[in-house]
Amino acid sequence: MTQTPLQASVAYAHAHTDAFIEQYKELLRIPSIGADPACRADVRCAADWIAAEMVRLGLDHVQVLETEGQPAVYGDWLHAGPEAPTVLLYAHYDVQPVDPLALWVTPPFEPDVREGKLYARGAVDDKSGVFLHLKALESVLNATGKLPINAKIIFEGEEESGSPTMEPFIRAHRDLLNADAVVISDGGSSTEIPEIGASVRGIVTAEVHVKGPDRDLHSGGFGGVVHNPTHMVARIIAALHDDEGRIQIPGFYDAVLPVSESARAWIEAEEPNAIEEARKEVGTKPFWGVPGYSYLERATAQPTCDVNGIFGGYQGSGTKTVLPAEAGFKVSMRLVNNQEPADIAAKFLAFVERFTCETVDIEARIISSGWPAEFVTTGPIAQAAIDAYAPTWGHAPKMSRGGGSVPIVGMFQHVLGAPVVSLGLGHGGGVHSPNEYYNLSYFDKNVDTAIHFYFNLVRG
């Protein structure tokens, strides 16, 4: 009985599982922390490793492309003919910092297998996205001599830093990256049921510094006559919300649309489970939020404005009666549907500007931003992704509407104008935490999912 190309590809992958996992450890050993200037050479080393692997696979136009930040790796295989779709496969090879290092059972860049789990920083977020696509492509190419689709592959090196220089990069390489759809493989699942992304919130982060006297003063000598910068910081933060949590930045909600039908249905279905999961993370205190919305509506479909840190003056034990020279705060705002990062950034800066006075200097600056985005979840390309899981997992994937932000999604949508589909590969836990691990019992399933997805794109 002759195997189909799909069957042959899957058989090839399964025959090489052990070799693939050994090779994966090579990539995991490279400490490609994109946010750490000390790892700059390691990030480059990871990019080179990936490019060499692409060449070995027989991809064309393989290149390590410079950005204003960390390099991106590109390769393509465009010989499937004009009838086949062209898809841009995206993952990122940079990883989160490893602090607190002391909590790791084994060093984060010395991959270690314990009880079927492969422990290493980046094992699921997101070297798995990089490596599983490479191994799926290799399996199809080696088993069948070709791909069913035209594939462009772009692997980013600064996603964990908020992709600060990727928007101009995509704009500059618009033709190279242009595709019928973009496939985001960032992270994976942590439960028995695979997940597929439906939406992410946008983001604007900012920092505000309030400067008073030239140096810290004695609160006895100058209390009452010198404006205290911590008081101004508190005034600004307190004015950000009303007593029930509504954001008071003028015009902040202007572009927020009513929750869509599909989001509403998802929220209603997922609400009980989401609350139960969140309860495990948060502790025992009641949840909080603007009245009139459900838990998941607040967590995924409403915008937020959260101070991430406040600082100023003496923070040690006991008392130091100082009137601080300076104080400040950091803030992240999560955006939904029609809110535009540039518009919200301008409104935040205008809001802070209102507090201008002669007795302290107030400096506000935007640090990073990203668009809110809806993934495409209907139509043939989305269906190809959805149907890629059941054959090996035994389950259709759950939709996931995320409260977090993946700025690259909005960049692809806005700059390329292409639909963006989520295809999570990898399975594990400890993402952004110590002892990140990949669950090796899912390795075959994850490669299979990618292979099925490629073939699903050309079925019928």
- Footprint (CB under 8 A) of a copy of itself, residues 137-176: 161-162
Of 369, 447, 435, 377, residue with least CA distance to 406: 369
Query: Which residues ranging from 330 to 359 are in contact with a copy of itself (CB under 8 A)?
Result: 330, 332, 334, 358-359
Query: According to the binding rule CB under 8 A, does residue 320 interact with a copy of itself?
Result: yes
- Structural element, H or E, at residue 230: helix 229-239
The answer for residues whose C-beta is within 8 angstroms of residue 196's C-beta and 6 or more apart is: 375, 377, 385, 386, 389, 397, 398, 399, 400, 422, 423, 424
Rounded CA gap, 166 and 128, in Å?
21
Query: According to the binding rule CB under 8 A, does residue 100 interact with a copy of itself?
Result: no
Query: According to the binding rule CB under 8 A, does residue 103 interact with a copy of itself?
Result: no
Total residues interacting with a copy of itself, rule: CB under 8 A: 83
* CB 458, min distance to a copy of itself, A: 35
**Closer Cβ to a copy of itself, 73 or 327, answer by number:** 327
Peptide bond into 126 cis (omega under 30): yes
Q: Indicate which single residue of 173, 227, 264, 414 sits in contact with a copy of itself (rule: CB under 8 A).
A: 227
Of 411, 233, 386, 221, residue with least CA distance to 312: 233
Helix (H, G, I), strand (E, B) or coil at 59: coil
Rounded CA gap, 111 and 208, in Å?
40
**Closer Cβ to a copy of itself, 152 or 334, answer by number:** 334
CA count, 13 A, side-chain hemisphere, 165: 13
Query: According to the binding rule CB under 8 A, does residue 272 interact with a copy of itself?
Result: no
Query: According to the binding rule CB under 8 A, does residue 233 interact with a copy of itself?
Result: yes
Of 160, 136, 168, 161, residue with least CA distance to 149: 136
Q: Which one of the spans 43-51, 66-74, 279-287, 385-393 is the region binding a copy of itself (CB under 8 A)?
A: 279-287
Q: Indicate which single residue of 70, 128, 199, 304 sits in contact with a copy of itself (rule: CB under 8 A).
A: 304
Question: Tokens 């008071």 sit at which residue?
Answer: 248
**Closer Cβ to a copy of itself, 21 or 255, answer by number:** 255
* CB 424, min distance to a copy of itself, A: 16
Query: According to the binding rule CB under 8 A, does residue 309 interact with a copy of itself?
Result: yes
Burial 317-337 (b: 16+ CB within 10 A, else e): eeeeebbbbbbbbebbbbbbb
**Closer Cβ to a copy of itself, 59 or 301, answer by number:** 301
Rounded CA gap, 308 and 20, in Å?
40
* CB 36, min distance to a copy of itself, A: 11
* CB 316, min distance to a copy of itself, A: 8
- Rounded to a whole number of angstroms, the CA Rg of the chain reads 24
Query: According to the binding rule CB under 8 A, does residue 191 interact with a copy of itself?
Result: no
**Closer Cβ to a copy of itself, 50 or 301, answer by number:** 301
From residue 431, alpha-carbon distances to 340, 359, 380, 438 in Å are: 28, 45, 31, 10
- 302 burial class (0-12, 13-18, 19+ CB within 10 angstroms)? buried
**Closer Cβ to a copy of itself, 146 or 231, answer by number:** 231
Specify which residues 119 forms β-bridges with. 112, 437
**Closer Cβ to a copy of itself, 92 or 452, answer by number:** 92
Query: According to the binding rule CB under 8 A, does residue 57 interact with a copy of itself?
Result: no
Query: According to the binding rule CB under 8 A, does residue 323 interact with a copy of itself?
Result: yes
Query: According to the binding rule CB under 8 A, does residue 253 interact with a copy of itself?
Result: no
* CB 289, min distance to a copy of itself, A: 5
Of 437, 420, 441, residue with least CA distance to 196: 420
Query: According to the binding rule CB under 8 A, does residue 239 interact with a copy of itself?
Result: yes
Q: Indicate which single residue of 282, 342, 350, 396 sits in contact with a copy of itself (rule: CB under 8 A).
A: 282
Q: Which one of the spans 39-47, 132-140, 172-180, 305-313 is the region binding a copy of itself (CB under 8 A)?
A: 305-313
| Per-position x/- string for 202-221, each x denoting binding to a copy of itself as judged by CB under 8 A, each - no binding | -x-x------xxx--xxxxx
Query: Which residues ranging from 376 to 405 are in contact with a copy of itself (CB under 8 A)?
Result: 402-405
